Chains A and B, each alone.
Chain A
Amino acid sequence: MAVLKTLWKYGFAILAVFILTGMAWLFKDQLSIQVIALLYLLPVVISARLWGLGPGILAAICAFLTLNYFFIPPLYTLSVHKTQDLLSLIIFLINAVVISQLLGQAQDSLLEAKQREGEATRLYELSTALTGLIDNHLIAQVLAEEIQETFCANRIDIVLKSAASGEGSSLTRPEQALTLVTGKPNLTLPMQTARGELGLIRLWRQDTPLSAQELRLLNIFANQGALAIERIGLTQAENRARVLEESDRLKSSLLSSVSHELRTPLATIKASISSLRSGAVEWNTDARQDLLTAIEEETDHLNQLVGNILDMSRIETGALNPQRRWNSLAEIVHEVLKRMGSSMHSHRIAIEIPSDLPLVPVDYLQLQQVFTNLLSNSAKYAPPGTLIQVKACIESQEMVLVEVSNEGPAVPEEHLEQIFEKFHRVTAADKVTGTGLGLSICKGIVEAHGGRIWAENAPGLFIFKFTLPMKWNGMLPRLPEET
């Protein structure tokens, strides 16, 4: 294509000379040789201006020959008799060549400037497209598309090397070229940074080889791509470091909290068992029962603690995938109360869940955990004998609202949000038992289900509220037809 385009330019230059020759021929009687010679400068100037140096010089030579042939006596020969004519012809040729050269150079440098501008724009586009990308694969995709568009390549492969294994993923643009364009690539370019080779660009362009300029531009593209990939690597490393730091902090506060929490029930168990075993005291039946109950309750407490810690680590690592099923909230709440058994006997419990409340798509065990934690938290802070209520209702077309309220003390407004943070306590740690994980686990679970959890003070009440979506993949539960 490019060769054909160049040929056309030369063709146009010759054509311009012939057109002028034709017109000058028509008026040759009215015009002197000098004027015709001046006229002949026109196609030369036009060719040089429009099509560059080469066509300009070609036009100058053609003009020189046709002027000589058609207008300088003896006519229709290329020979010249008068010295004066010879001189004006030579001067014409020199003029024409110099003018076309000057114009052509200006033209060429304009073209070059335009090309540079184009490159700069391309590069700008590329770097804009690459900014903000946070995925190696996306970067490779953008890079491949930009290269393909800029260099009109038949096929671009970008191979990303993963740091671990050396060989990495490969991406081809356009996709169909994977089978259409085969064979050895015309060019292979590494994507190199200070950290080493991050990948390769393979380019197939079968019709014309890359010019030096294009090669330079492609190198810059490759560098840009490499830098973008490196940036991602650095960001990821930084994130990892931050996560590690955070989890380190978590672990140490967990350890201090847990060791205290685990020892308390262990102390009770140990004391009770050693009392029962020692032959020093004769225990009556009631005392024996008390000690045994204490052991059993503390064992359950320990088990719950371990469960909480496990849940927390699952939430931390994002491994909390709710196994959604259509479940009845009423059933879950009743099951939880049954399981919690004696630990809730200190309070009065009221459950107000309408029987026509639709089934909700939740993980049964995780929701059990939420209710267990909210209820045991309520029982812990509300005075014994007071009422704990569980309510549920439809909040909107999309959400169900659940409330767990107790008659415990109000929590200062500034703590209302923070109580769902890990290890946050309103009261000093040594005054209340618990790992400080319960509410943050509730938050983790509710949010994993696509809901929201918060707490409110109301006159005489402290209320936990959370929402749960009613739809699962945009659907309500499908109910069977009676057979």
Chain B
Amino acid sequence: MNPQPHILVIDDEPQILRALRTILQAKQFRVTVASRGEEGLNLAATQLPDLIILDLSLPDMDGVVVCERLREWTQVPIIILSVREGEKDKVTALDKGADDYLTKPFGIEELLARIRVALKHSALAKGSTQPIISAGPISIDLVRHIVTRDGDEIKLTGTEFKLLAYLAANAGRVLTHQAILTHVWGSIDADHVEYLRVYMGQLRKKLEGNPEEPHFLLTEPGIGYRLLTND
């Protein structure tokens, strides 16, 4: 990974831009800022940042549109930072190609953690897929279909493995209910969030220390799920 990753922040509020620039620079990131969507798109094309932080309410266009336009040519990780907290806004942005979503106001630790995950994921995506993914004591071998916890093999059903493998292949990213359901059960069952609840419950029982308070198989309220892996 580049020792000084380059982050482009697109947000129309000068206060947020100032705060993020200061904080991110202190954390050894190179920071470019844009306050309009069009400007952001240009900067993204000319400077090729390693990650983009994007607000949804921009003066000239909707952040979702910016997201779509970026996805036409680049797979650069995009983290949405917005005051919109409705499920619909989040799901739309994620479906249009955003990698993550954070609601303002946000804790800076949370943002930094999401940035690290996104950068790592994009670095992985550039190379070949990692065959073994580990999350705490859990290790998932995507090639041999073996899941272990503290070295002991855990028996998973076919569907459970398919679900876990999809989360693992996208480790750290928020996956919407729709995306997971379509991938695991097919598009006909894409509305049956209840399937997911049941299977995530089973996975947590088998893999998490305390299934009630999961540390790795995380719920994104109203949006979907995310597998948190080792940094």
Contact = CB atoms under 8 A, between A and B. Distances in A.
Interface stretch (B13-21, B59-67, B190-198): B190-198
Given A334-B212, A479-B198, A480-B198, A368 B221 contact: yes
A328 B197 contact: yes
Contacts of B166: none
A456 B198 CA distance: 33
Tell which of B157, B158, B195, B221 has the most Cβ of chain A within 10 Å: B221
A338 interface: yes
Contacts of B158: 482-483
B189 interface: yes
A323 B192 contact: no
B159 interface: yes
Given A325-B177, A480-B199, 15 more contacts: A296-B107, A323-B88, A325-B194, A325-B222, A326-B197, A328-B201, A331-B197, A335-B221, A364-B221, A365-B221, A478-B194, A480-B185, A482-B159, A483-B157, A483-B159
Given A365-B87, A479-B195, A330 B212 contact: yes
A326 B199 CA distance: 13
B56 to A, nearest CB: 16
A132 interface: no
Interface size class of A (residues with CB under 8 A): 20 to 34
Interface in B92-124: 105, 107
B12 to A, nearest CB: 19
Interface of B: 85, 87-88, 105, 107, 157-159, 177, 185, 189, 192-195, 197-199, 201, 212-213, 219, 221-222
A335 B212 CA distance: 9
A477 B87 contact: no
Contacts of A480: 159, 185, 189, 192, 195, 198-199
Contacts of B105: 299, 303
Contacts of B199: 480
A345 B224 CA distance: 28
Contacts of A351: 212
Interface string A77-106: 000000000000000000000000000000
Nearest to B86: A365
Contacts of A330: 212
A482 B199 CA distance: 10
Per CB-CB distance, the 5 closest pairs between chain A and chain B, nearest first, are: A326-B194, A477-B194, A364-B222, A480-B195, A325-B193
Nearest to A323: B87
Contacts of B197: 326-328, 331, 359
A303 B106 CA distance: 10
Nearest to B90: A365
B192 A365 contact: no
Interface of B is mostly: helix
Contacts of B194: 325-326, 359, 477-479
A362 to B, nearest CB: 11
Nearest to A361: B194
Nearest to B201: A328
15 contacts: A299-B105, A307-B85, A323-B222, A326-B192, A326-B193, A326-B194, A326-B197, A335-B221, A338-B213, A359-B197, A359-B198, A478-B194, A479-B194, A482-B158, A483-B158
A62 B172 CA distance: 109
A475 to B, nearest CB: 10
Contact of B157 (A296, A326, A335, A482): A482
A363 B221 CA distance: 10
Interface string A358-397: 0100011100100000000000000000000000000000
Contacts of A325: 177, 193-194, 222
Interface in A450-483: 477-480, 482-483
Contacts of A365: 85, 87, 221-222
Contacts of B87: 323, 364-365
Nearest to A327: B197
A149 to B, nearest CB: 47
A331 B218 CA distance: 10
Contacts of A303: 105
Nearest to B177: A325
A326 B200 CA distance: 13
Contacts of B212: 330, 334, 351
A299 B104 CA distance: 12
Nearest to A336: B221
Contacts of B157: 482-483
